[in-house]
Chains A and B, each alone.
Chain A
Amino acid sequence: MKLLNSFLLVSLAALVGCAKPSDGDQLRFSHKLHVDNDVGCIECHTDIVPSSQVGTGKRPGHDQCVGCHDNLKDNCALCHTKPDQVRALPRHATRDLNFSHELHVEAVEGDCKKCHATMVSSREPGADRRNWTHTACMECHRDQYRAMKCEQCHQRMTEWKDKPFAVFNHDGDFMGRHGQLARGEKVVCSHCHTDDKCAECHSTLQPTVPAERFAWDVSKPHVHRGDFKTRHAMEAGLDRMRCFSCHESRQCAECHQESGVARAGAAFKHPDGWMKAGSPNHHGRDARSKIGLCAGCHDRGEKTSCIVCHRPGGTGGNPHPGREMDSSLNRERDMPCRLCHG
């Protein structure tokens, strides 16, 4: 096993080594050296100040370098590791940002280090790009962030497929996971969505399901698509209680009443052996795992049919599942104890 681990590690290291961007021409350039020699940023980055969009300011070219370094003209290898393989530098990724160097240079009074703090100690060109996270902008722009004014920086906020953080990633089975993400991040969701987005599906008060109201939007993964009524018992059987994340409990009873399953002699029946102790279909098994489904039809307070049998002296036996019951409840006075013990 150790051998395998070692092999994997060595292989990985070899792969990483191969992937290192050492091929082709690289620039030999130290920002630190220039800063230490009191070269101002704008002496090289001459057109950065008037640039009003991120990535539009040109990088210093030969003209800027040769302006100070006469000896570079005929000695390419001083700066280029492979002068015969010189290539154009990749463009900065703009990520559709509204960003003006012009305004920022003014705001920091020409002190570029306020944003490019790590650049002054860098011995490479472009070495502080990794620091360009949201966090760096938040040093000054937390107010806009809190006020959810994302569009001041982000041009097409609602069109991003790959949102800035994994939590914003809406691809894949996002519908299946969004509830868990939203629990602690409702503020994050509200950057782009108002409560109507939740209510479209989650309002237990509305009469239709999204698959009906938005039937034309076939690219959305609607839960109730097609003949959901036929398979709803299966869906409820899989993720027990998931129905109640959107549906109000009375909707079970109302629908069952309308469709006849709740009337006497209706087509819907509990399985054979439902009331027979020892039967594989005995209702106790389902009650312990799907109690909400039982409650959808049978929870009627003092008129609940279950407690006809499940009460002291009844034939149904003790329903308490062995969990510790709340000792603060008064058996004779408080619900639900008083229904049986009062």
Chain B
Amino acid sequence: MRRILAIFLAVSLVPVAATAGPVSPSVSGSTETFTTFWRELDPYAASDATKSRMPVYQYVTVRGRDLGVAGLSADVSGFGQLELLKGFAADRATGDLMYGYVRYVDPKGYVRATAGRQFVYRGAGYGVALDGATVEGFLPLNLQVQAFGGIVAERTFEGTLDRPAVGGRLAWMPRDFGHVGASYYQEWSSDQIDRQNVGADFAFRYFKEVTVDGSSTFDMVGHGVQDVDLTVSYLPFRWASIFVHYGLFDPDALLPRTSIFWVFARELHQSVGGGFDVRPFQGFTFWVNWDQYLYGSGDTGYLGKARASYQLPVTIPVTVGLEYDRMSETENGYDAVRVFGTGETGYGLRFSAEVLAYFFAHDVRSYDKVITGFGGLGYRFLHGLVLDVGAEVNRTPLVSSEVRGLAKLTWDFSFGEEGTR
């Protein structure tokens, strides 16, 4: 019921507001009709028999700006899903509103009010979809205040819905030198507190080239630090940047405090890493990133990534790239290589292709590697109307080999004066 009400409110406001008032409204958005077909192991068959699947997805996004009143906007995005082939997930039709809100920003940008389904940050590193309202204001002395309240739109592990939540953040943003913020989040389930976090965050920028970002969340119920993040970024030149990072995370931070599971967890894990990227000449980018993980048990893991991409100096925009990843965790790991290329001709035709291979440290179902190839073509029929088709071939332990077909029709539309981003 709440979902229907949210959709109704968000959608109905678009045409109502768009027809009123002296300002020039604009409405834009996109629709995506997307289907994919593949075969996979039938888990309920005695042998290695496979079954086919073919879900169809429909995404719709609508954005309205200056809807009758300057600064009044509405954003709605939702999806529907239909499983065409019976058997696996027979007769399955679902859909939901991903976000849908009405927002007002006063002409000078001092106050911003948002009502509807929206993302807010609740601490412990993650956002949450909230059906509710948020008010943000910029006060004198470079203070910024945010307050929100509503009902969490996502389920807990055990499927609980309808959890009220409130939160807010107060930040001081001295000029362009960064910010210092303090936040609070509280969520209830059946009249009992599910989460109660206080957080602190800051960013410091020095003469544009250096940024230090940090944040931490403290669990008021469990009396422990849930996460810490610290990143230092440095841009020595316009064509290069480097960063180092430290993170600490408590794995039970994601569990509501009404879940029995959070009493089992104990081990914080930490990560230390860094990386750099360079763009030494036009069109070329190279970056490297490495993170080392240390788990509470004393085990370690790591993830390293390197990527080079180059936009070829030819008349049509073509980008090619090469990636290498190396990962190790306590039980397995892999080396991965990926080669890709993508481009667009002047006749509305675009193309993309990639080949990637994962070489496992230890076999997975007797397979020491997985290889995937993908090729896709897209054609822009009219302004904003694009048809994409593609095929993916996998050599995988799950079905030995798999061919997957994809097709997507995208329509980007806009009415009125274009004022959206």
Contact = CB atoms under 8 A, between A and B. Distances in A.
Contacts, number: 364
Given A161-B279, A172-B287, A203-B98, A229 B34 contact: no
Interface in B359-387: 360, 364, 367, 370, 372, 374, 376, 378
A237 B301 contact: yes
Contacts of A288: 264-267, 296-297
Given A203-B98, A234-B329, A238-B327, A292 B255 contact: yes
A56 to B, nearest CB: 22
Interface in A167-226: 167, 169, 171-173, 176-177, 179-187, 192-196, 198-199, 202-208, 212-213, 215-219, 221, 225-226
B2 interface: no
A201 to B, nearest CB: 11
Interface in B216-245: 221-224, 229, 231, 233-235, 238-239, 241, 243, 245
A181 B213 contact: yes
B403 interface: no
A192 B190 CA distance: 39
A172 B262 CA distance: 35
A332 interface: no
Contacts of A296: 157
B201 to A, nearest CB: 4
A46 B204 CA distance: 40
A216 B287 contact: no
B385 to A, nearest CB: 15
Contacts of B159: 250
Residue among B94, B97, B176, B356 with the highest chain A CB neighbour number at 10 A:
B176
Of the listed residues B77, B101, B202, B321, the one surrounded by the most CB atoms of chain A closer than 10 A to its CB is: B77
Contacts of A186: 121
Contacts of A203: 98-99, 129
B81 interface: yes
A231 B252 contact: no
Contacts of A250: 155, 157, 159
B50 interface: no
Given A162-B235, A234-B329, A245-B126, A185 B255 contact: no
> What secondary structure prevails in chain B residues at the interface with A?
strand
A134 interface: yes
A278 interface: no
A241 B249 contact: yes
A263 B43 CA distance: 9
A125 interface: no
23 contacts: A138-B176, A165-B211, A176-B291, A180-B245, A184-B203, A185-B179, A194-B75, A194-B420, A207-B94, A216-B350, A218-B376, A225-B338, A227-B396, A227-B402, A230-B370, A235-B327, A237-B330, A240-B295, A245-B125, A250-B159, A260-B44, A287-B265, A306-B260
- Complex A-B, nearest 5 residue pairs according to Cβ-Cβ distance, in ascending order: A260-B43, A147-B109, A172-B277, A321-B266, A146-B109
